[in-house]
């Protein structure tokens, strides 16, 4: 599945909101879309109040016209269900379906996403509008598939939610004795003797129970997935040939386990808005592309013959990137670079929020392909260039070259956000990003995996503060290293079990044998504090009193209370090698260390001749390969390469010249 979106040409387009415009603008929209070579738009995401202005009374005429116009223009539609923004009549009729915060405050109408995903009235209304859309449009020729909802991620603490949580807990733990044990409720007199005593983690006097916090996140991920699946099943029943998906929103606040969700969508679709404006935006883009591709491996197999996991960049910003206090205008060419960086990592196209900038509403100044100024603008000219570029890349296919696997785990991310940890600076996603950044700057291709994924061909496995490790995951790591794989684990990996209970006998309980080292004491560092390392680098965030048990010291601490004690170690285990980092090295030191570990594992950079700042990604399909080169620096580089450069359709004999900010995509000579 996912095929109808991912088998044809690369997708190009974005959210299209014709309901915000008079009908006369629609024809111009389609003409401009054709000029830009847009071929897919998401329609109706927030159109519930226009589609169903009164309960059960539908206005479909405008949508009929829009879909026909788009179809006549050769533009396919991802038709959305509008359930992320219930209309005013709904909330007035069903105040009990409004969400409640952890503090017990019931939220009001006036923005979007204001509903409780468990409330029966909400679920019923969502099914009804989705069903009405399915009845009317499931066989419309413009449809390429369904886009359910928008960015599942809301939360709630109302009574509906509390009862559903209790049912979920009973299902997960079976009996109260097991739950009490998992949550260590002997602490602070929290022992439960009746299911009715359990509630969601509401605001409390002091620190909440970590087991409860973690289970609530898991429960909520499952709950939102249930809301999605309910709509998906109904849409699928109306036309089993149409793929169904929803767009993932990223961020550590999101209570969704995206890897688990991937098995339930026909196509992994992600929205990406970098939070950095400097090179950090490119680093984040690379990480998100690798994350999405990793999740896509859990999706239902795509019929794409080469077996490449299908995913799609569903939303991105054509221009401004949000930054603290202001919007940063993307430099000329950067939209193309960001889009193609996702395509390089397997996205079947580049989609944007949004097509046309609205004249009003909360996001009136969000960037769009058609700006407030209209099509006579730099952004629209770049949009036309991007449309051409994507057409020229139609032949690119196949898996991304990568021999390093980086583990990212939703539950570890949630658990390291709990209060009562030794440091507020702990962050699984931050550690994953730091390791990925180091690999990216050193030029190594990297796949993102979740615990338990098969690891064929990965020579180096990286665990970035993988805090929660159950017994099966510990065994998975052990087998990898014992069989000859290399491992690089950072501090706090394997310290707790799947219920966030600390593993006893010395940290990191789950991995002491593989790492050949254990930590007796933590030394969390203050924000901004650094320790010096014996290789001249520095460590931040964390330090530990390490006790080698078979491992050799690679780097030692060189000042402070740990002066002279091990900081980074490595250990032969079976046929493999396991590195341990007890601190977070500064970026340069980390990059050198990762390169060293990768070399030791026999991993080569994707394009050894590319200097730092020039990103290289290779896709391979059988004898064929394509090399993407991105020059993120502010000066020209000449990179030795041979083949045909697809964006300019020129033959490259010896080297490709990349101007500052330039991109090249080479079809390399077949092997
Ligand atoms: C996305 C969302 C869009 C729009 C966009 C603005 O997260 O799906 O509807 O709000 O952000 O950046």
Ligand 1 pocket test, candidate residues 16, 254, 271, most atoms within 8 A of CB: 271
CB distance 17 to ligand 1 below 6 Å? no
Which CB contacts under 8 angstroms, 24+ apart, belong to 640-647?
A: 640/609, 641/607, 641/609, 641/666, 641/668, 642/666, 642/668, 642/669, 643/667, 643/668, 643/669, 646/392, 646/393, 646/395, 646/396, 647/389, 647/392, 647/393
The label of the residue with tokens 């959305």 reads: 80
Walk across the sheet containing 552-556 and list its strands: 446-449, 404-407, 460-463, 486-490, 576-581, 566-573, 552-556
Q: Give distance in angstroms: CA of 363 to centre of ligand 1.
A: 9
Closest CA to 465 of 524, 512, 408, 527: 408
What residues contact residue 289 under an 8 Å CB cut-off, 6+ apart? 313, 341, 342, 344, 345, 346, 347
Residue 621 is predicted with a pLDDT of: 94
Distance of alpha carbon 60 from alpha carbon 314, whole angstroms: 25
Tell me which CATH code domain 404-600 carries: 3.40.50.880
Q: What angle do CA 515, 516, 517 make, to 5 degrees?
A: 90
**269 Cβ neighbours under 8 A, 6+ residues apart:** 147, 245, 246, 247, 248, 311, 312, 313, 314
Q: Is 590 in the pocket of ligand 1 (CB under 6 A)?
A: no
Does this model's pTM top 0.95? My answer is yes
Answer yes or no: are the C-beta atoms of 486 and 576 closer than 8 Å. yes
Q: Which CATH code for domain 1-33+267-394?
A: 3.20.20.80
Regions of the chain short of the pLDDT cut 70: 1-3, 301-307
Helix (H) or strand (E) holding 438: helix 428-442
Closest ligand 1 atom to residue 322 Cα is 12
pLDDT at residue 229 in the model: 98
Q: Where are the beta strands (DSSP E) in 436-508?
A: 446-449, 460-463, 486-490
User: Which mutation among 43, 154, 353 tests ligand 1's pocket best, with the greatest number of atoms within 8 A of CB?
Assistant: 353
The residues spanned by each domain of the chain are 1-33+267-394, 404-600, 614-668
Nearest protein CA to atom 3 of ligand 1, as residue? 353
366 lines ligand 1 (CB under 6 A): yes
Contact assessment for residue 591 and residue 441, using Cβ atoms and an 8 Å cutoff: yes
**CA 182 – ligand 1 centroid, Å:** 38
What radius of gyration, in Å, describes the C-alpha atoms of the chain? 26
Among 566, 558, 565, 554, CA closest to 600: 554
Give the residue among 67, 12, 18, 72 at the shortest CA–CA distance from 45.
18
CA of 433 to the centre of ligand 1 (A): 22
Residues 122/86, Cβ–Cβ less than 8 Å:
yes
Q: Which distant-in-sequence residues (6+ apart) come within 8 Å of 177 by Cβ?
A: none
> Which tens digit of pLDDT belongs to each residue from 82-134?
999 999 999 999 999 999 999 999 999 999 999 999 999 999 999 999 999 99
Q: Is the CB of 362 under 6 A from ligand 1?
A: no
Nearest Cα neighbor of 282 from 632, 610, 633 is 632
Q: Is the CB of 353 under 6 A from ligand 1?
A: yes
Catalytic residue numbers?
151, 315
Q: Which CATH code, of 2.40.30.10, 2.60.40.1180, 3.40.50.970, 1.10.645.10, is assigned to 614-668?
A: 2.60.40.1180
């Amino acid at each position: 599945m996912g095929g109808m979106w991912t088998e044809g040409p690369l997708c190009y387009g974005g959210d299209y909101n014709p309901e915000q415009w008079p009908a006369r603008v629609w024809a111009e929209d389609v003409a401009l879309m054709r000029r830009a070579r847009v071929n897919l738009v998401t329609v109706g995401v927030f159109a519930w109040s226009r589609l169903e202005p009164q309960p059960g009374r539908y206005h479909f005429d405008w949508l009929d016209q829009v879909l026909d116009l788009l179809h006549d223009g050769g533009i396919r539609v991802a038709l959305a269900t509008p359930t992320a923004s219930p209309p005013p009549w709904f909330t007035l009729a069903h105040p009990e379906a409004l969400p409640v915060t952890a503090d017990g405050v019931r939220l009001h109408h006036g923005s979007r996403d204001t509903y409780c995903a468990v409330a029966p009235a909400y679920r019923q209304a969502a099914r009804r509008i989705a069903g009405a859309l399915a009845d009317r449009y499931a066989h419309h020729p413009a449809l390429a598939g369904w886009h359910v909802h928008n960015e599942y991620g809301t939360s709630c603490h109302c009574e509906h939610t509390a009862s559903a949580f209790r049912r979920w807990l009973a299902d997960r733990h079976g009996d109260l004795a097991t739950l009490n044990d998992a949550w260590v409720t002997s602490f602070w007199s929290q022992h439960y003797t009746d299911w009715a005593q359990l509630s969601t983690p509401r605001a409390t006097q002091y620190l909440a129970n970590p087991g409860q916090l973690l289970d609530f996140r898991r429960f909520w991920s499952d709950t939102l997935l249930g809301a999605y699946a309910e709509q998906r099943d109904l849409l699928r029943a109306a036309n089993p040939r149409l793929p169904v998906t929803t767009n993932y929103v990223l961020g550590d606040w999101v209570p969704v386990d995206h890897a688990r969700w991937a098995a339930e969508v026909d196509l992994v679709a992600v929205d990406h808005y970098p939070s950095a404006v400097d090179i950090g935006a490119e680093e984040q883009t690379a990480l998100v592309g690798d994350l999405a591709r990793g999740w896509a491996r859990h999706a239902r197999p795509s019929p794409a013959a080469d077996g490449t996991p299908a995913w799609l960049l569903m939303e991105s910003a054509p221009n401004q990137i949000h930054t603290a206090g202001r919007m940063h205008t993307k430099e000329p060419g950067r939209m193309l670079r960001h889009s193609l960086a996702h395509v390089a990592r397997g996205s079947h196209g580049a989609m944007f929020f949004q097509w046309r900038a609205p004249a009003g509403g909360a996001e009136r100044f969000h960037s769009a392909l058609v700006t407030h100024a209209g099509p006579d603008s730099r952004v629209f000219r770049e949009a036309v260039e991007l449309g051409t570029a994507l057409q020229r890349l139609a032949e690119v296919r196949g898996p991304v070259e990568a021999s390093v696997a980086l583990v990212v785990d939703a539950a570890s991310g949630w658990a390291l956000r709990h209060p009562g940890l030794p440091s507020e600076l702990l962050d699984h996603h931050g550690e994953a990003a730091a390791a990925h950044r180091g690999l990216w700057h050193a030029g190594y291709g990297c796949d993102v995996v979740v615990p338990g994924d098969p690891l064929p061909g990965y020579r180096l496995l990286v665990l970035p503060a993988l805090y929660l490790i159950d017994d099966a995951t510990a065994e998975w790591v052990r087998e990898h290293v014992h069989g000859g794989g290399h491992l690089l684990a950072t501090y706090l990996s394997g310290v707790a079990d799947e219920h966030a209970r600390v593993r006893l006998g010395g940290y990191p309980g789950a991995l002491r044998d593989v790492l050949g080292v254990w930590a007796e004491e933590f030394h969390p560092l203050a924000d901004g504090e650094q320790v010096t390392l014996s290789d001249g680098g520095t460590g931040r965030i964390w330090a530990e009193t390490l006790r080698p048990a078979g491992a050799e010291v690679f780097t030692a601490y060189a000042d402070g209370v740990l002066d002279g004690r091990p900081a980074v170690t490595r250990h032969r285990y079976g046929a493999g090698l396991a590195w341990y980092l007890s601190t977070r090295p500064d970026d340069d030191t980390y990059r050198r260390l990762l390169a060293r570990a990768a070399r030791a594992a026999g991993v080569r950079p994707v394009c050894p001749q590319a200097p730092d700042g020039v990103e290289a990604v290779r896709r391979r399909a059988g004898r064929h390969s394509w090399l993407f080169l991105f020059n993120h620096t502010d000066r020209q580089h000449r990179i030795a390469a041979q083949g045909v450069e697809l964006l300019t359709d020129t033959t490259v004999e010896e080297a490709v010249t990349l101007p500052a900010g330039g991109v090249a995509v080479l079809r390399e000579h077949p092997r």
